[in-house]
Structure 1
Amino acid sequence: MAPPLSRRLLLRAAALASAAPALPLTAAGRARAAAPEAPPAWTVRPFRLEDVTLGRGVFADKRRLMLDHARGYDVDRLLQVFRANAGLPTLGAVAPGGWEGLDGEANGNLRGHYTGHFLTMLAQAYRGTGEQVFAEKIRTMVGALTEVREALRHDPAVLSVAGRFSTAVENVRGSHRYVDLPAAVLGGAAAITLAAWVRPAHDGAWARVLDFGDGTTRYLYLAARGANGAPRFAVTASGAGGEQGLEGTAALPLDRWSHLAVTIGGGTGTLYVDGTAVARNEAMTLTPAALGTLTHHWLGRSGYSADPVFAGAFGGFDVWSRVLTAAEVAHLRERRPADTPAGRGDLASYAFDETSGGTFADASGRGLTATLRRTWGGPSHPGFLAAYPETQFIDLESRTSSDYTKVWAPYYTAHKILRGLLDAHLALGDDRALDLASGMCDWMHSRLSRLPAATLQRMWGIFSSGEFGGIVEAIVDLHDLTGRAEHLALARLFDLDRLIDACAADTDVLDGLHANQHIPIFTGLVRLYDATGEERCLTAAKNFWGMVVPHRMYGIGGTSTGEFWRARGVIAGTIGATTAETCCAYNLLKLSRTLFFHEQDPAYMDYYERALYNQVLGSKQDRPDAERPLVTYFIGLTPGHVRDYTPKQGTTCCEGTGLESATKYQDSVYFAQADGSALYVNLYSPSTLTWAEKGVTVTQTTDYPREQGSTLAFGGVRARFALRLRVPAWATAGFRVTVNGRAVPGTPKPGTYFTVSRTWRAGDTVRVSLPFRLRVEKALDDPSLQTLFLGPVNLVARDPATRLLEFGLYRNAGLSGDLLPTLAPVPGRPLHHTLDGIELAPFLEGTEDPTHVYFRRTEPAVVLGGTDSGVANPVKEDGTTLLDEIWAGAPFGGKGALVARVRATVDAWAAAGLLGRAEAEQVVRTARAASYAP
């Protein structure tokens, strides 16, 4: 195990901690925003986002749409749930909804996650563009979150608002606050009147105006809305079945003051709304005296834990030890109790006109001071920061099964917030963000370090509830900044040993696992390896990657069906409407990138290009929207699927990662050898690299993938290093490189890096040619189910049919083996073609056209060079056809070589009894007579 902190790390952390928060991203500002040094274990390192500028092209176009969204979006909407949870004013903001609010799926139990993603997006946008609008939004959010944490550190304080007559106290929805009254408030009275001014802010059923009781057996309550939506009062000494009740007749209006009163005495109960009796029960025999001593006396909270907390304002609460007359109740609607014939309540009287503190004075003369409290007490550590109570984290520790309406991945949400704060700090050097991030990890350590190992293993193994995203990666990144041993210790507390041990042993146990819950675990493991040197971590991550790519990967680079993995090698058997969750592609890209830092296996970057140029680009719709990011959740691969760019109201996990993806397209275009001896060009993307350490700039000009090549121009000082150009695995049509117009000798091999070593000078130009071929990729479990690629680009059929389309592709195949001559190009529309009258278009285009990613390959007749031989195309038991075997010999040096291949193949098939001799000769005659494209 490597030591947790070196002197170098300590000095680096101290330097970062001293960075000023308000520098613009000038040259000085960019220096202050520098990320920590690459870990010693990395043999290559990435460049900062600010070191690579995107040029015009598909990436810049997609990014512009997201940047426009980021510029205009009101971040107070994201902060609303955080401020509400802390009992702070929400500034009239409306939460986004969906998963980022109280009314979305599972009661908004994931709220706060999207705010973290948004912070990361803003940080990336700022680093990539230098625009101050993004910096200002970051500062606003970090400042607000600092205030939120401070409020959560202390007992709740009054939120004073305008009341019916003077001031009132508001408990905003989501604050989980209530008023706790002393036990003597009812005074054992045999007759009683209860009266309150309320202004409800939400229509949740069973939210209590008051609840005085002893558990769920003996109690009395007044709910703002009962089962029929109107106010309800009930009293019981024998649970819900024994309730004696008063039912209102109409719902209380939201955001308006209403006066409620209940009288009980002489066997009669009456419910008043705004001074008018709306319900009367002459068989109400129970009184406070009959209930005896009760354990709680609450305003705004229910004795039933499933009931919502009252959201809204209290403008006054009084209790009298007698039954007020109807006239007296009517007067209470017009004036303060002290100014009416009833006078103040003799048992309790609260005006709620306090403007600070957390207690409320009693004006009855009995001195029954009330206290403002949170239903969940308070955070277990002052570093706690969340948009919901700590109860989800507490519940998870004893939970044995998933129920996301109760606990929905609290540590996943914590990860998003933590990551966003770290990115905010790295972008601006804002110490407040680093302090918030460090405090969150201190709080997590205070909770998790006290739990037995078996409890942690159980927690992390629970689907959904135990999901923790990329938290280990973020914690190790924080440890790089702080050097604190507790932070590295915290990262180790998230080990899911049964999965990690299996993957370390190269045992595939992924069948049935939730994909996105587990992919980021392995990126975290790689970072843990960086910090500890523990080989098990890196080995498990490498083996895991190989279990997914290609064995559970769809052509576009995505994985999972209905969020889960199925058996290894099953592709056709898992295609459905909810395949390829976009978060999975995002996390597999991160894992591929991180693994490449340790081992420069070109397969990692081949995957990176596949998923980035297809699923990730295609997951972003090509139109502006101020309200939503327009990013897919699932990408269904069923025939005729139409992509949904606004799933679940627009704030899902995938829209969160989509915010990030669209603002970091340049993060893996270039890498540098750790010792500065080489520059890797991983992606052919229009961009300019500023390599400060070398004093060199590299400007890549291309319209790739619409252009089949790229030009790299060098500027700056002379520098010697190796230029390593990725040769994609699909580049079988002849990858060529020239330097200053002269061909570079050597034969680039697909699936490698081609190296050009020299001293580079300003004005040097490198031209890379990457001719595309049309090729198919077959589903691992059904070779006849195929998907089309032109170079790196997946081509999809745009057709409304909901059955699998059937295509044949050999009819005009070229001598090179290229299937493209079978397609007809669409003039003026690069990468667009037609086949049998159906449009084929790049998956990366974010449209709402019905698409077919996969099709059924059918070659019923032997057709060569556009000539039909009249011979049926025979098939072997394994699904291989005669044409498959003929074209497996491509490329052919000329027509003669193709004819020779045809002769050898038909002879073998005829000898095996798979093809008649006459039919074999007819196929050969057709091959000789036909003409072929190159």
Structure 2
Amino acid sequence: MMKDEGRGREVPVLALDRRRFLAWSSAAAAAGLVGFPGAVAALSTGAPRQAVAGVRLSPSVFRASVEVTHRYLMQLSADRLLHNFRSQAGLQPKAEAYGGWEADTIAGHTLGHYLSALSLMHAGSEQEGCKARVDYIVDELRACQQAGGDGYVAGFTRKRADGTVEGGRAVLEELSLGNVRAQPFDLNGSWAPFYTWHKLLAGLLDAHRCCGNADALPVLEGIAGYVEAALAPLDHARMQEVLACEFGGMQESLAELGARTGNGRWVRLAERFTHEQVVEPLAAGRDQLNRLHANTQIPKLLGVARQFELQRRSADAAAALFFWQRVVGHHSYAIGGNADREYFQAPDTVSRYLTEQTCEHCNTLNMIRLSRYLYRWSGQSAYYDYIERAVYNHVLSQQHPDGGRFTYMTPMLGGEARKYSSPEGEFWCCVGTGMESHASFSEDIFWQEGADIAVNLYIPAVLDDPARGLALRLESSLPESGKVDLTVVEDRDAGLRWLRFRQPGWAGNVRVTRNGRLQVPRVRDGYLELQGPWQAGERIQLEFAMEVRAEPCAGEATLVSLQRGPCVLAADLGPADQPWDGVEPTLATGPVAALFAQPAGDGSFQVPLPSHAQPVRFAPFHGLHDRRHAVYFRQPDDAAQRRRAAAGSFDAAGQAALADRLVDHLQPGDEASETAHRLAARGSSYPVLYRRTRGRDVRSGGRVEFTLQGAGPATALRLRYWGEEHRRRFSIAVNGVVLANEVLDGGRGDRFVDVDYPLPAPLHARSPDGWQVRIEPEPGYSAGPVFGAWLLG
């Protein structure tokens, strides 16, 4: 047995997989990761670093966000979120189910997020009503579990082949018989059931940790026992097949359950959820993230991170560390988010993926959580540099100030605006993670390491720890200015040794005073350190320089974002409900600091730009709600301008050639054009917008049909796709004749591509009803999206 230092429980020791570690070390060396094995070896799970409890936010934009989140949580109905759980347990639901995702087979995921948010809200602010609602939900889940009699309790459902919907228990019953039908987001007819289940497990763990609910762990153990029994007949290979479908953080939650209970049974079950196809390349120092669904992968690394804390296997730490370094350093946008249309792209290509569909919020919350693991092991400030960037820019921007409305994606395409959920409408995954992230700001401000306190985020707050006789008050003018003020209110037992202040990566010169006297602090691991003893009333003041600086975008040096202090500055391009004039803001080449010398009282700037006749307002990105904005700006040199002009000329020539051959044109996703061409969508099909181009997507089980007209004759059907579209297989037929069985698997460039499908001679002449086109995906795959359809002569 060994002690889990972070939780104080005894957990079983599993022997170090020496062969795996040696293979990883050799691969890392071959990949040129100089010093990386040493960095992994230096990580320690024994360090007593932990976030300090008893922290309460003072007035700021963060506390305002917590307060509107609390109002939203209290407005939601626990009974509506419990509808499917009671129904599947054979109990009468107490209220109708919500709509949106809660009306699909992923139903139940929101309850888990909700339980976590209520628990975090109680721990971080003791807002009224949170604990009572947590206790009510756990009681209801226990009642559902007792009614079932075998540990099962869940809200997800599944669709049978005939389209009827049944309870999710059927999925596990099929798996136990070895019947595994796994697609990336569908397992035996259910939308990612283990992903959905994980939200409930995580919520129960938070109810236990934050609210002290004694019934949460027994309910969780009942679920774990049911899962264990259902998966027991599957050998290792079959289990890896199951893991081809998104499964969220099952591994992390089960490992945590093992740590909390001291029962190695759950740690061993957690290990079954190690997805080797993803984890092993990362442990070997290989970035194979291109075209992987981002938020499917991040929780897998949270799982191996928790396993590392329990089992001390260096390869697990290597996978987590390498993944973090690659995502933060090579796959992330200026605001700390990552992925386009939910997928990673090739490293250092984000400059080519500035679209409406960037930065899914779930990804960022999970990257923050992974950063906490790595900070706990290393104490290095870089992890809180990332958390600060993500919190100030992505998380704060994700919820509308009126509360209860959250973004799914946060667009990096200039001229776009954020789009929010309705309070009781969509119930996307990012609504759930939005509840959580806006309830937990107090977790990241103060960390304790032995007798030392580290200040990691400069968010106004009060730390009150009566057991230690310690109280601190942190005041901050960030992000408007770089002034920070910390007062030692009480250190009754003189137990506080060092106060450690993170020196942000963005900070220039810093001035530190103690009781008005200038200090020269010790600098270690990115922290400014001042030693005790401390007296009540002592005051430390820091003043960070906050010069505006340009940060080049990876892969394109002439494309930059602007940062001032912790905030990304964005151009305000007008109200979201008004059309944008289409003028792309550009910056003159050279240093930018002089343009931003005089901020207004709200931290905004009026800046002259070569692209605009009048100065443009720049402000912190997070505050530009209901506004169109730009985050990235070109500082074009002569060569870049020539390349862009040449690309424009090429596009114009292509349009002219198309006009000469055009018989008819459908613009998928445009309601008027679809109606004019009698478009009929069957099953799962919906309009999309990508790079300001409308299109239509067709998912497995659906199809789309439309009619092209014109006098003819016609010789080809042209369809437009995005060049990096992947995992798409579908048939294309005209008047019942299959023209092609198309496979889109990327590799056609980061641009729209047109594919011509020749028509057989009998189809050249117009039929009485025109040319009837049918696009239908293969089972388990999607079609398109199709961004244009042309009939050519």
Asked if TM exceeds 0.5, the reply is yes
Instruction: Specify the alignment match of 2:427 in structure 1.
Output: 651
Instruction: Specify the alignment match of 2:414 in structure 1.
Output: 639
- 1:481 deviates by 1.7
Indicate the SS of the match to 2:425: helix
Structure 2 counterpart of 1:796, from 570, 589, 612 = 570
Q: Deviations over 1:774-814 (max 9, x none)?
A: 01111111111111111110011121547572333567x6x
Instruction: Specify the alignment match of 2:528 in structure 1.
Output: 754
Instruction: Specify the alignment match of 2:318 in structure 1.
Output: 539
- 1:592 deviates by 0.6
Instruction: Specify the alignment match of 2:502 in structure 1.
Output: 726
| 2:113 aligned partner, one-letter code | H
| 1:477 aligned partner, one-letter code | E
Structure 1 counterpart of 2:144, from 120, 144, 148 = 148
> What is the rounded CA distance, in whole Å, between the counterparts of 1:527 and 1:136 in structure 2?
30
Instruction: Specify the alignment match of 2:198 in structure 1.
Output: 415
TM-score by length of 1: 0.60
> What is the rounded CA distance, in whole Å, between the counterparts of 1:642 and 1:830 in structure 2?
20
> What is the rounded CA distance, in whole Å, between the counterparts of 1:777 and 1:878 in structure 2?
22
Instruction: Specify the alignment match of 1:474 in structure 2.
Output: 253
Indicate the SS of the match to 2:601: coil
Q: Which has the higher contact order (CA 8 A, sep 6+)?
A: 1
CA shift in 2, pair 1:131/1:174, >3 Å: closer
CA shift in 2, pair 1:396/1:781, >3 Å: farther
Instruction: Specify the alignment match of 2:395 in structure 1.
Output: 616
- 1:9 deviates by 2.3
Larger radius of gyration: 1
Residues 732-881 of structure 1 aligned to structure 2 (within 5 Å)? 732=508, 734-745=509-520, 752-799=526-573, 801=580, 803=582, 805-809=584-588, 819-823=592-596, 825=598, 827-836=600-609, 837-845=615-623, 847-858=625-636
- 1:604 deviates by 1.0
Indicate the SS of the match to 1:506: coil
CA shift in 2, pair 1:138/1:544, >3 Å: same
- 1:569 deviates by 1.0
> What is the rounded CA distance, in whole Å, between the counterparts of 2:6 and 2:526 in structure 1?
36
Residues 395 and 437, structure 2, Cα contact 8 Å, conserved in 1: yes
| 1:9 aligned partner, one-letter code | R
Residues 518-537 of structure 1 aligned to structure 2 (within 5 Å)? 518-537=297-316
Q: Deviations over 1:444-476 (max 9, x none)?
A: 11122331111122221x2xxx21212222212
Q: Deviations over 1:526-554 (max 9, x none)?
A: 11011111111111111111111110010
- 1:849 deviates by 0.8
Instruction: Specify the alignment match of 2:69 in structure 1.
Output: 66
CA shift in 2, pair 1:397/1:5, >3 Å: farther
Instruction: Specify the alignment match of 2:484 in structure 1.
Output: 710
Residues 67-82 of structure 1 aligned to structure 2 (within 5 Å)? 67-82=70-85
> What is the rounded CA distance, in whole Å, between the counterparts of 2:595 and 2:452 in structure 1?
41
> What is the rounded CA distance, in whole Å, between the counterparts of 1:581 and 1:655 in structure 2?
11
Residues 81-90 or 396-405, more deviating: 396-405
| 1:57 aligned partner, one-letter code | S
| 1:678 aligned partner, one-letter code | D
| 1:443 aligned partner, one-letter code | Y
Instruction: Specify the alignment match of 2:162 in structure 1.
Output: 306
User: Could you list the runs of 5+ residues in structure 1 that have no partner in the other structure?
Assistant: 12-38, 102-107, 157-172, 177-301, 310-374, 380-387, 814-818, 861-873, 880-934
Structure 2 counterpart of 1:548, from 321, 327, 339 = 327
Residues 615-624 or 684-693, more deviating: 684-693
| 1:843 aligned partner, one-letter code | F
> What is the rounded CA distance, in whole Å, between the counterparts of 2:74 and 2:641 in structure 1?
59
TM-score by length of 2: 0.70
Percent of residue pairs bearing the same amino acid type: 28
- 1:120 deviates by 0.5
Structure 2 residue 213 is matched with structure 1 residue 430: yes
- 1:876 deviates by 13
Instruction: Specify the alignment match of 1:100 in structure 2.
Output: 102
Structure 2 residue 447 is matched with structure 1 residue 671: yes
| 1:576 aligned partner, one-letter code | T
CA shift in 2, pair 1:617/1:552, >3 Å: same
Residues 105 and 157, structure 2, Cα contact 8 Å, conserved in 1: no
Residues 170-569 of structure 1 aligned to structure 2 (within 5 Å)? 305-308=161-164, 390=172, 398-402=180-184, 404=186, 406-460=189-243, 462=244, 466-569=245-348
CA shift in 2, pair 1:542/1:402, >3 Å: closer
Residues 68 and 402, structure 2, Cα contact 8 Å, conserved in 1: yes
Residues 407 and 418, structure 2, Cα contact 8 Å, conserved in 1: yes
Indicate the SS of the match to 1:850: strand
Indicate the SS of the match to 2:348: coil
- 1:616 deviates by 0.8
Residues 124 and 443, structure 2, Cα contact 8 Å, conserved in 1: no
- 1:2 deviates by 5.0
CA shift in 2, pair 1:392/1:58, >3 Å: farther
| 2:632 aligned partner, one-letter code | Y
> What is the rounded CA distance, in whole Å, between the counterparts of 2:402 and 2:178 in structure 1?
41
| 1:134 aligned partner, one-letter code | C
| 2:416 aligned partner, one-letter code | H
CA shift in 2, pair 1:792/1:633, >3 Å: same
Residues 796 and 852, structure 1, Cα contact 8 Å, conserved in 2: yes
CA shift in 2, pair 1:6/1:433, >3 Å: closer
| 1:852 aligned partner, one-letter code | A
Residues 640 and 851, structure 1, Cα contact 8 Å, conserved in 2: yes
CA shift in 2, pair 1:433/1:585, >3 Å: same
- 1:61 deviates by 0.9
Instruction: Specify the alignment match of 2:49 in structure 1.
Output: 45
> What is the rounded CA distance, in whole Å, between the counterparts of 1:496 and 1:662 in structure 2?
30
Residues 719 and 761, structure 1, Cα contact 8 Å, conserved in 2: no
- 1:40 deviates by 8.3
| 2:211 aligned partner, one-letter code | L
> What is the rounded CA distance, in whole Å, between the counterparts of 1:447 and 1:131 in structure 2?
39
Structure 1 counterpart of 2:116, from 116, 120, 133 = 120
- 1:151 deviates by 2.1
> What is the rounded CA distance, in whole Å, between the counterparts of 2:45 and 2:184 in structure 1?
38
CA shift in 2, pair 1:420/1:525, >3 Å: same
> What is the rounded CA distance, in whole Å, between the counterparts of 2:522 and 2:348 in structure 1?
33
> What is the rounded CA distance, in whole Å, between the counterparts of 2:583 and 2:88 in structure 1?
50
> What is the rounded CA distance, in whole Å, between the counterparts of 2:623 and 2:137 in structure 1?
33
> What is the rounded CA distance, in whole Å, between the counterparts of 2:151 and 2:435 in structure 1?
35
> What is the rounded CA distance, in whole Å, between the counterparts of 1:705 and 1:6 in structure 2?
33
Residues 4 and 483, structure 1, Cα contact 8 Å, conserved in 2: no
> What is the rounded CA distance, in whole Å, between the counterparts of 2:369 and 2:470 in structure 1?
27
Indicate the SS of the match to 1:778: strand
Instruction: Specify the alignment match of 2:405 in structure 1.
Output: 630
Indicate the SS of the match to 2:336: coil
User: How many pairs align?
Assistant: 597
- 1:558 deviates by 0.5
Residues 185 and 246, structure 2, Cα contact 8 Å, conserved in 1: no
Runs of 4 or more off by more than 3 Å in structure 1? 1-8, 173-176, 388-397, 400-405, 691-694, 746-749, 800-804, 823-828, 831-836, 874-879
| 2:75 aligned partner, one-letter code | G
> What is the rounded CA distance, in whole Å, between the counterparts of 1:662 and 1:825 in structure 2?
31
- 1:649 deviates by 3.4
- 1:714 deviates by 0.3
> What is the rounded CA distance, in whole Å, between the counterparts of 1:744 and 1:4 in structure 2?
38
> What is the rounded CA distance, in whole Å, between the counterparts of 1:551 and 1:5 in structure 2?
32
